[in-house]
């Protein structure tokens, strides 16, 4: 996935462990969950729409998140949520779960 990230000029956070639908994916501190979805060719939301505004308004980027320090998974807008170490992101085929 190097080809889709800006290298060099912007600096990058530390590598973190994130799973996307159960599979480990390359991720760095400071990236949003939506950035990870785009980088890995996935999309959240309804299949005919997908993420639209990238600023928390449309809710078309909803995903289910779980983390080892949380008791229950929760839904969140991928465009407003920073990826964190140990996070698991779930989306269904063609959209959210």
Summarize as ranges the residues that interact with ligand FES (CB under 6 A). Answer: 51-54, 56-61, 77, 79
Q: Tell me the C-alpha distance between 3 and 67, whole Å.
A: 28
Query: Contact, 89 vs 36, CB < 8 A?
Result: yes
Q: Distances in Å between the alpha carbon of 68 and those of 18, 27, 57, 63, 64?
A: 11, 17, 28, 17, 14
Q: In terms of CB distance, is 54 or 84 closer to ligand FES?
A: 54
Q: In terms of CB distance, is 8 or 41 closer to ligand FES?
A: 41
Shortest reach from residue 25's CB to ligand FES, in Å: 19
Q: In terms of CB distance, is 31 or 60 closer to ligand FES?
A: 60
């Amino acid at each position: 996935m190097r080809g889709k990230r800006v290298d060099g000029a912007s600096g990058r956070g530390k590598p973190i462990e994130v799973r996307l639908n159960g599979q480990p994916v390359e991720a760095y501190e400071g990236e949003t969950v939506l950035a990870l979805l785009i980088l890995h060719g996935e999309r959240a939301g309804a299949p005919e729409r997908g993420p639209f505004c990238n600023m928390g308004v449309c809710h078309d980027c909803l995903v289910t998140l779980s983390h080892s320090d949380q008791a229950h998974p929760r839904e969140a807008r991928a465009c407003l949520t920073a990826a964190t170490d140990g996070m698991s992101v779930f989306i269904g085929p063609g959209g959210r779960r």
